[in-house]
Structure 1
Amino acid sequence: MEQYLLDNVARYQTLLQRFKPPPQKKTGEAKTSTNSSIVVNTRIRPLLDDEVSSGQVIAAFPRGDGSGVVDLHELRRVVRGLPTMNSSAFKIGKVFGADQTTETIYNETVQPLLPYVWEGNIGTLFAYGQTGSGKTFTVSGLERLIAKSLFSESLAERKIHVCIFELAGNSAFDLLNSRAPFMILEDSFGDTQLVGIQERHVQSTAELLEIVENANTFRQTASTEKNDGSSRSHAVCRIRIENPAPEVVEDGILYLIDLAGSEAARDIFNHTADRMKETREINISLSIVFRGMADFDSATATATGKPSKKPYIPFRQSMLTKVLKHLFDPDRTRGCRTSVLACVNPSFLDTGATKNTLRYAEMLQSSQPTGKAASYNPSVPTTWSNKDLRTYIRIKSGNPSISPLDLAPYESGTQLLRVPEDEFVQRCLKSDGVTKEQADMFYSKLWKLHIDSRRAAR
């Protein structure tokens, strides 16, 4: 088929000159994204020199009117006569063309995540697309810019910790510890924990960049039909920003994710059985992530504005979906914002893979989940503010009552549950007349309520 397309380049260019973009359809009220937790963008890389020399031409064209629409043209073989051209249009947030730099992408899509993470929330950037579409090049450039921003004078001084790991199928490997395997598990709060991974404290831009570069040397790559050095695993860089303010529940976390390159069926004809199995696992994990993020919208609101039934999202099916659980968990209590970057190879030989990439991006763009935090529930301690927690302590801690000021001077329900048992008991004993037995019983009572609420949610 590739040779057929190359033999008909002149026909394709003639049809392309005749193409006139259709007017955009009006679909009633436009979806607003002011409260959206997901921003979707597309980067179309330029044709490479070897692609140009082989006769390839561009098939993906961003419209120059700022509408965020990409026109994709596909030459089709017919039984009789000259080939025809099918055209598709995809509307996706903002489109960065071949003439726009990685720094421009950073300023418009990634930089806004940093102050959000600085305040104790979760920010996620991930790039996906066909192998050879420029994902690793883009993410590497964004990592360099993020490293400079984290240690700039405009941000307050805080401790910054980093871990970098690789997800291949259902295995996880620590790239800062010579690919040592580690576990990805859920804790009692439903949060994902990386058990046994090394985390480095970094103190400068140069140190962070050196760590990232060393980790990349351990990443799994292999030759594919489209790319001699294709990444055959998902690489995750997690930056944790320690927050010194005691009233903040969590440290801020920034995930930078370079997803493994997806491939079409025609790209794996010459692959081994292991490589084909690997490709299926990559494509399945990506499908779960995107469909899970899209279905998350139905858990927050329907078209009528009323809550709908929670969708079943199999996030335990792969290591990638476990790590990204925060993106599509309707019960999450932490603020989350995500920047998605769809990377596109513009060649007319790759329109099939490009179409799949743009379809996923369009699906996320139309979902626009808001990720509302859980509202107060007297049976769920993780939804309690400090005021709610103090009321519970005053009423339910026994006789004599434990002082709420001694036990929880500023903590929310989630924060107090994270306090070690010994410290919890010592705080209780500051109250007049309170015994160790009473303190132990109240600790158990609070934790039983938390466990029961988790079971009920499941």
Structure 2
Amino acid sequence: MKPDRTPMQRRPRLPPKPRTVERKVEQDPVEVFCRIRPAEIPGQEECIAEVDSRTVKLTPPNSSFAYRNGSAKEQLYKFERVFGPSSSQKELFSRVAMPLVSDLVNGRNGLLFAYGVTGSGKTYTMQGTPQDGGIIRRTLDVLFNSIQDYQASRFTFRPDGMNGFDAQSEVEAQNDRRKAAATPRLRPMAGGRTTRGRKDPPGSQDSSQRIPDTSRINSVDEDNVYSVFISYIEIYNNYLYDLLEELPETGPSRGLQTKIIREDAQHNMYVHACTEVEVKSPEDGLEVLYRGLKRRKIASTRLNCESSRSHSIFTIRLLQAPLDAQGEDVVTDKSAIVVSQLSLVDLAGSERNLRTKAAGDRIKEAGNINNSLMNLRICIEILRENQETGGNKKVPYRDSKLTHYFKNFFDGDGKVRMVVCVNPRSDDYDETLTVMKFAELASEVQIQRSQPARRDLGLPPGRRRANQLFKEVRKKLEDEVEGAGVEALEVDLAPIYSLAPDWPVLTSSTPGGLEEVISRLKAHLRKRLQSRERLEKNFWGTVAAMRSGIAEMEKENLVMKKELTSMRALYSDAMGRVRSLENLLHNAESANESLQRKLEDQAFLRDECEAVKEERDMAKVQSQIEKQRMKAKLRTKLEQEKMKLKSTLNTELHHQKSKIYQSQVKALKQALFSDKQTVPTAPLQPSTTSSSDTDLTAIPDKTPIKASTSDPKLNMTPASHRTPAVVNLRHRRSRSQGSDVWIDHRPTQEVPTGTVLQPNLHRRKSVTKLKSGDFTDPRTTNYCLTTQEQDSQGELETKLFKGEVLPTAGGGAQVVLRDVEILHQRDPLHHQSTPNRKRSSTEGTPLQDRGVWGSQKRPRV
């Protein structure tokens, strides 16, 4: 049998997921357009050329980094539309910005970037000239051309300070207009000064030369009223500034104040406390634009920078609210107000410091601009990656003010378009290549299509026209009965709002008037039938639309019911798991409390043990300290006693060594360098005799005699100028007689003795000049020094000094002399009458001491 599972091991079966109707989300790509600036100098080298209406070719020049790097090749880039050097502002506006203005009127948001390197024509594309306006000028013209007849009176809408607007009644609007007329406004002047009540000439006195755009949008709802608000902000060094802010004449806050980005109740980003100016004509809008440009120029001078060092954002917000059922007043319900926004952004030009030779603050400005544009590119890359892989990677909108402010657009709150402006000159190739890559990347991003946020209040269409007709008829009737008083006006104007006209008069006072009555009745019935048919057609159309809507709602209702059933099942299972987990959590908390108490007891015992251990350690340390003190005291006393004893022994040893050295020197001098020797009488011996000193063992072996390695004779030096070698006492030789190796040190010019009585040298090495390696060789065991000289009788005297080679404690070697043989050679024919004598070492110059010759560890040859 299988063991029963515990409650933790049982897994509840999830109900099957209901089949839901997948709603396809419509998306639009980020539309990227390209505009090529005309050549500044005719005939100059160009790096970009137009291939067709959608393709450009980028060719690297010889001065580019790619050419020097060896990776130069021509590249083709595709856009929604390419505008060549000969394209006009009107053509560009009609293709790029006109659809955004149409969306603005229909309640949708839009965003348009002008992107490119410095000097590529971005500002000209956005602003243009008075004679040939850019996107901003033409947008204002087209917008006011479309809503000119449907504008609300000034102050009908007021900003609420939280990215929203409130609608006011006509009485409240009149009060605000009266207050505004009585309060002079602050207007900026050159140099940062202000003046009260003075109006700057619009467009810097170029309004007379301006050529407006006459285009208009036809899809304007006539039953709404419209109002336009404009704001103009700047992003400089990643700080937000309001270019329309009114500055006081004096005070500490004369300069522009930085603004912050906030999120409203609908999760839309906006600039807090930003000035929004209500405009009623294109001239008013251009006046606001020029005022912001002047403020921007003053701020640029104050900040020691150029205007292209910042991003400028010109925002147009269009408000539309429906009229009431009579078509007379505006509906003041805040939820009925539809706000649409169009942002026209002139991005700062990207550039490289290596080409521009920037220094000081310009390097900081360029770094902030490049960081802002780089963060925009990173956001677009992550958006594309999430769309291609289905991932949910976080997009870093908050890393810069630019992307943070336009976060809603990339999340699907409006249409996004971009105009890439390029300069064809070859010096801008490297920067243009980066711009092209970014444009290609941006064109691959899909943005969710936004829907206009309009609320259907159930009001009948044509209210404005009906109200205008009512006013015209009333005015006409009043003019006809002028002077008759109000009571004389017996016209009932209610039928204007009725479904059909009233019946005509059916009575006639004349007999022939019956036909006239019948004709009027026929005409009236014909009108009623036409009205009936029209109303019936509208009714059945409304019924069909209602039925289809109800059917769709029923389908969605069924799907939602199924989803609700499955969600309830999942909820009940989840609640069961939650209850089981709560029980387990309760048991775990109880066990945890028990373990916590045990842990506290263990911690208490551990603290006590630690305290006892610390006391023992302190006692141990104290005893060790006392021991160390006693050791130090005894060590000091021992060192003092050692120094005293060593001093005494060194003194005695010095005296003994001095005595021994003097006696050895005296003995060796007598034995080696004495010219007059006394030889006692002895029996006849052969012509060549040798004697061995048998008393050398009595010579002390601790006083060495140094000899030069280049002179076969011994070099005697005083004891005060040399240091005796120390014999290695651990050395013990255990070699046989046949394995001894002798160093036979002979003079350079040796007289052969011609005798068979040779020294007992078995394995020998004859040398005339000693080397350091002769004694340090571990195979060398013995040493023999041979000297020859004439005695006082003119005979040849040969002396053989024999010794043993011993290693020293310092790693060298020393020779300890053990025996001395003296050989005399006589002529038997010349000395026949002279008895043969043999002089032994004991009969000649007595040797009282033993000579030692040594070599140090590193002797020099």
**Does the CA contact (< 8 Å) of 1:75 and 1:84 recur in 2?**
no
- The higher radius of gyration belongs to 2
Task: Say which is worse superposed, 316-325 or 239-248, in terms of deviation.
Answer: 239-248
Instruction: Give CA deviations for 1:424-456 in whole Å, capped at 9, x if unaligned.
Output: xxxxxxxxxxxxxxxxxxxxxxxxxxxxxxxxx
2:51 equivalent to 1:63: yes
The residue correspondences of 1:297-376 to structure 2 (distance < 5 A) are 297-299=384-386, 301-302=387-388, 308-329=390-411, 334=413, 336-367=414-445, 369-371=446-448
1:277-296 alignment, distance < 5 Å? 277-296=364-383
Cα deviation, residue 183, structure 1: 1.9
Alpha-carbon contact 1:298-1:309 (below 8 Å) kept: yes
In the alignment, which residue of structure 2 is the partner of 1:5?
A: none
Unaligned stretches of 5+ residues in structure 1? 1-33, 375-382, 387-458
Counterpart code for 1:349: D
Q: What is aligned with 2:32?
A: 40
- 2:95: which partner in 1? 108
State the Cα deviation string for residues 181-223 of structure 1 (Å, max 9, x = none): 3222223443212111111000001110111112112225879
Check 1:90–1:189 CA distance in 2 against 1; reply closer, same or farther (3 A cut).
Answer: same
Counterpart check, 1:238 vs 2:225:
no
Is contact 2:384-2:444 (8 Å) kept? no
Q: Deviations over 1:231-280 (max 9, x none)?
A: 110000111100214776740000010001110242343422x3212212
1:180 Cα deviation from its structure 2 partner: 3.8
Q: Which residue of 2 aligns with 1:260?
A: 348
SS at the partner of 1:217? helix
User: How far apart, in 2, do the equivalents of 1:328 and 1:106 lie?
Assistant: 23
Assess if the C-alpha contact under 8 Å between 2:34 and 2:420 holds in 1. yes
CA contact (8 A) 1:169 1:318 kept: no
Which position in structure 2 is the counterpart of 1:444?
A: none
C-alpha contact (below 8 Å) 1:75/1:86 kept by paired residues: no
> Which residue does 1:209 correspond to in 2?
286
CA contact (8 A) 1:298 1:310 kept: no
**Would the alpha carbon gap of residues 114 and 294 (structure 1) be closer, same or farther in structure 2, given more than 3 Å must change?**
farther
Q: Does 1:131 align with 2:118?
A: yes
Provide, for residues 48-89 of structure 1, a one-character-per-residue CA deviation record: whole Å limited to 9, x for no partner: 24xx4xx7322110103x3x22111112369xx9x9963222
Q: 1:311 to 1:84 in 2, by over 3 A?
A: closer
Q: How many equivalent residue pairs?
A: 321
Q: Name the CA distance, whole Å, in 2 between partners of 1:118 and 1:311.
A: 35
Deviation of 1:294 after TM superposition, in Å, equals: 4.1
Change (3 A) 1:222 1:181: closer
Q: Tell me by how many angstroms 1:112 deviates.
A: 0.3
- Deviation for aligned residue 1:105: 0.7
Mapped pair 1:152 → 2:137: no
Q: Distance in 1 between matches of 2:394 and 2:356?
A: 31
| 8 Å Cα contact 2:29/2:447 also seen in 1 | yes
What is residue 423 of structure 1 aligned with on the other side? none
Q: TM-score, normalised by structure 2?
A: 0.35
Equivalent-residue separation in structure 2 for 1:264 and 1:222 (angstroms)? 20
Consecutive unaligned residues of structure 2, counting only runs of 5 or more, are: 1-25, 128-133, 147-215, 248-255, 323-332, 457-861
Shift of 1:290: 3.0
Q: What CA deviation, in whole Å up to 9, does each residue of 1:307-359 have, x standing for no partner?
A: x2222211111211121112323xx5x3x101100110100111111111111
Which amino acid is 2:232 matched to? I
Conserved 8 A contact 1:292-1:328: no
1:182-193 aligned within 5 A: 182-193=259-270
CA RMSD of aligned residues (A): 3.0
Residues of 2 paired with 1:186 and 1:169: CA distance?
22
1:120 touches 1:248 (CA, 8 Å); kept in 2? Answer: no
Q: What letter is aligned with 1:252?
A: S
Q: Deviations for 1:117-142, whole angstroms, at most 9, x for unmatched residues? A: 22222101110110111101111111
SS of the equivalent of 2:365 reads helix
Counterpart of 2:363? 276
Secondary structure of the equivalent of 2:447?
coil
Which of 28, 45, 62 aligns to 1:76? It is: 62
Q: 1:248 to 1:356 in 2, by over 3 A?
A: farther
DSSP-derived class of the 2:351 partner: coil
Which letter maps to 1:290?
R
Pairwise CA distance, 1:170:
2.7
Identity %: 27
Match of 1:162 in 2: 230
Residue equivalent to 1:117: 104
TM-score (norm 1): 0.64
Alpha-carbon distance in structure 1 between the residues aligned to 2:95 and 2:267: 32
